[in-house]
Structure 1
């Protein structure tokens, strides 16, 4: 159990979480008001994972998180329009 806790706080694990969870969080949105204003969870997920990554540079994590978000959006838009 101690080994699992130690591994969950390592940089490679946090980078994998950043790559996977940021685009998923970006797709989850809620409307706090009854209007067109919406809030995405992608920024929140990115911020809290970034707080855990102490030695990794912020600009590199932004590129690492932004690339999957861009590509998932490019692949999901044609799929949603086809149906």
Structure 2
């Protein structure tokens, strides 16, 4: 079950370690990609100085719609039992 497996010595792996860690700009330069612009501090804050809340999900339904759907579901379940 173990095809193409061979014994690796730690000294072999150390030969392929980079001499210094690459920065993000160097990584982009090596791949010929443009470096993304850093986020501006003005974009991260509201006009009154408060930071924007990070919205992690793109919710297309409101809580009212979910509550209405739940009520319809429970009503159907109630009718099926009767």
In the superposition, the TM-score normalised over structure 1's length comes to 0.24
Structure richer in strand, relative to its length: 1
Structure richer in helix, relative to its length: 1
Structure whose alpha-carbon radius of gyration is higher? 2
Larger RCO, structures 1/2 (Cα 8 Å, 6+ apart): 1
